[in-house]
Amino acid sequence: MTKLSNAQIAWRAAQDIEDGAYVNLGIGFPEMVAQYQPPGRQAIFHTENGILDFGEAPPAGSEDWDLINAGKKAVTLNPGAAFFHHADSFAMVRGGHLDVAILGAYQVAQNGDLANWSVGAKGVPAVGGAMDLVHGAKRVAVITEHVTKDGKPKLLDRCTLPLTGVGCVTRIYTSLAVIDIVEGHFVLREKLPSIALADLQALTGAPLHLDGAVQDLIVPELS
Amino acid sequence: MDKTIPSLAEAVAGIGDGATVMIGGFGGSGAPIELIHALIDRFVATGHPTGLTVVNNNAGNGHVGLAALIEQGMVAKLICSFPRSADPVVFTELYLAGKIELELVPQGTLAERIRAGGAGIPAFYTPTAYGTALAKGKKIEEFDGRPYVQERWLKADFALIKAEVGDTHGNLTYRAAARNFAPLMATAARTTIVQVSHLVAPGAIDPETVVTPGIFVQRLVEVPDPQQEEVLNRAKAVYP
């Protein structure tokens, strides 16, 4: 089955970020979104550990380990960057000052519930800033494969894994579609032209509602 | 009014068994490696302190700094948000063996609990963790139609932090993103112990740029060219 690569999902999510937006990207996959800002737009990226307006990774060997992102990877600073302590950092998060947060997901439910911090199994639990981020940004979006590695839906009627937040997600960019959450429903906005609506529905764990025409999800080839 | 202490060993003196110790740093950034290692040295020499409750964002990485403190068996309980790292083997093994207690706190709530502790605010409400396993047993209250979780302040007997420049009054500036939890922890501990890379005379720091005012600092020790956890781990260092 044709589906978008992670880079392509990240590209699609990046197209919705406005010029001048303050943005937090979850660690791992969501960090890729920063690479695909449309020309002429400049978002300002926030990292929980205390930097606004950080840039790309430095070349290997020239890392400064006091300049890292939330994933503890080395970063650089853009002109106009700022440092701050953790209480200020999470005032930016919880206080509603970020325009958008883009996070990964294990599961998203049609009511906007998100599960992305624990698979509920034995092991060491770790939450980081995920539970704060989902209540902070004006817009909380998720980027994810449409289904799990073994083909089960990740978009569900109700999450079965431990929740990160309740009713917090408003848009989901998957490897097959772009779906909004509106009043407790999945509303299909875009889908790959190559997949039939019925097939997409079969891979989705709750009804896909339509609200006007469904657009084709067109994404460039990316290396 | 001179808060400087001549040696690392004297700087960490008086941290007793069962103390609650906040340790600055986010991963290796801001980790006061030399202060932690001085505490380990005392434990190796005397068997104390032990049974510590440590507050940090993480649970250490590799076998230096906080990970080494845990590996020595000095830590009974860890209060943190993200006990995973590139090499979390020390904490993971003790945790899975039931030999260390974990209180998992969302990162922003951890920061705010420490801030509240330092500011004399016994509790506050946050939307964070509402409806999740981490809000279990906590008081919920609605404000303007939205539910919030009550969280309690967090205070400590001691804080160990790293700053870049400190004057003898304890005024501090930090380096890049290394400040992270340190300015909060400095306010929330009864005794805040700081390792500074550069010790200067009062007046040498522009008051406009002071991040932590000296009132929050009790002891300062100069450690020029401090070690960086990430660099030590890449060299596969083990302490002691």
Q: How far is A124 from chain B (nearest CA, A)?
A: 7
Q: In this complex, do A90 and B127 lie within 8 Å of one another by their Cβ atoms?
A: no
Residue A49, chain B, CB below 8 Å: the answer is yes
List, for residues B117-173, the tens digit of each pLDDT value.
Answer: 999 999 999 999 999 999 999 999 999 999 999 999 999 999 999 999 999 999 999
Domain membership of residue A169 (yes or no) is: yes
Residue A17 has pLDDT above 70, yes or no: yes
A–B CB contacts, 8 A cutoff, strictly below: 146
Residue A218, chain B, CB below 8 Å: the answer is no
- Can you say how many angstroms the Cα of residue B90 is from the centroid of all Cα atoms in its chain? 18
- From the CB of residue A53, how many other CB atoms can be counted at a distance below 10 Å? 17
Nearest to A115 by CA among A147, A149, A156: A156
Is residue A1 very low, low, confident or very high in pLDDT (cuts 50, 70, 90)?
A: low
Q: In this complex, do B174 and A83 lie within 8 Å of one another by their Cβ atoms?
A: yes
- Can you say how many angstroms the Cα of residue A194 is from the centroid of all Cα atoms in its chain? 24
Residue A60, chain B, CB below 8 Å: the answer is no
The CATH number of the domain holding residue A118 is 3.40.1080.10
* Residues 6+ positions from B100 with CB-CB distance below 8 Å: B70, B75, B76, B77, B78, B91, B94
Domain ranges of chain B: 8-122+155-234
Chain-wide mean pLDDT for chain B? 97
- From the CB of residue B213, how many other CB atoms can be counted at a distance below 10 Å? 15
Give the chain B residue whose CA is nearest to the CA of A67: B177
Residue A122 has pLDDT above 80, yes or no: no
Catalytic residue among A18, A48, A145, A183: A48
Q: Which of B106, B114, B177 sits opposite A127 (nearest CB)?
A: B106
Region A18-24 average pLDDT:
97
Q: Which of B27, B96, B106 sits opposite A131 (nearest CB)?
A: B106
- Written as six digits, the tokens of A168 are 């917090």
ipTM for the predicted complex: 0.96
Contacts of B181 in chain A (CB under 8 A): 85-86
List, for residues B14-39, the tens digit of each pLDDT value.
Answer: 999 999 999 999 999 999 999 999 99
Residue A49 identity (one-letter amino acid): N
Q: Which of B83, B115, B211 sits opposite A87 (nearest CB)?
A: B115
The full DSSP string for A14-62 is: HTTPPTT-EEEE-SSGGGGGGGGPPTT---EEEETTTEEEE-SPPPTT-
Residue A85, chain B, CB below 8 Å: the answer is yes
List, for residues A155-208, the tens digit of each pLDDT value.
Answer: 999 999 999 999 999 999 999 999 999 999 999 999 999 999 999 999 999 999
Q: In the CATH scheme, what architecture does the domain B8-122+155-234 have?
A: 3-Layer(aba) Sandwich (3.40)
Domain membership of residue A223 (yes or no) is: no
Q: Which of A48, A83, A122 sits opposite B107 (nearest CB)?
A: A48
C-alpha distances out from residue B224 to A197, B166, B195, Å: 64, 12, 9
Contacts of A90 in chain B (CB under 8 A): 107-108, 111-112
Domain membership of residue A222 (yes or no) is: no
* Residues 6+ positions from A105 with CB-CB distance below 8 Å: A114, A115, A116, A142, A143, A144, A154, A169, A172
d(CA A72, CA A66): 10
Q: Structural domain tally of chain A?
A: 1
Q: In this complex, do B106 and A65 lie within 8 Å of one another by their Cβ atoms?
A: no
* Residues 6+ positions from B17 with CB-CB distance below 8 Å: B48, B49, B50, B51, B52
Q: How far is B107 from chain A (nearest CA, A)?
A: 5
| Residue B42 burial by Cβ neighbours in a 10 Å radius (0-12, 13-18, 19+) | middle
Q: What is the pTM of this model?
A: 0.97
Q: Within a 13 Å sphere around the CA of A149, how many CA atoms are in the beta-carbon half?
A: 0
Q: Which of B29, B112, B126 sits opposite A68 (nearest CB)?
A: B29
Domain membership of residue A1 (yes or no) is: no
Give the chain A residue whose CA is nearest to the CA of B162: A66
Residue A52, chain B, CB below 8 Å: the answer is no
Q: How far is A82 from chain B (nearest CA, A)?
A: 9
Q: Where are the alpha helices (DSSP H) in B82-173?
A: 89-96, 107-119
Contacts of A68 in chain B (CB under 8 A): 26-27, 29, 177
Contact present, A69 and A49 (Cβ < 8 Å):
yes
Task: Please confirm, yes or no, whether A145 is among the known catalytic residues.
Answer: no
- Residue A121: per-residue pLDDT: 72
**Which residue range is the domain that position A160 belongs to?**
6-216
d(CA B31, CA A159): 37
- Residue B1: per-residue pLDDT: 87
List, for residues A26-73, the tens digit of each pLDDT value.
Answer: 999 999 999 999 999 999 999 999 999 999 999 999 999 999 999 999
- Written as six digits, the tokens of B114 are 């420490």
Mutation target among A67, A86, A97, A140 for the B interface, most CBs of B within 10 A: A86
List, for residues B40-71, the tens digit of each pLDDT value.
Answer: 999 999 999 999 999 999 999 999 999 999 99
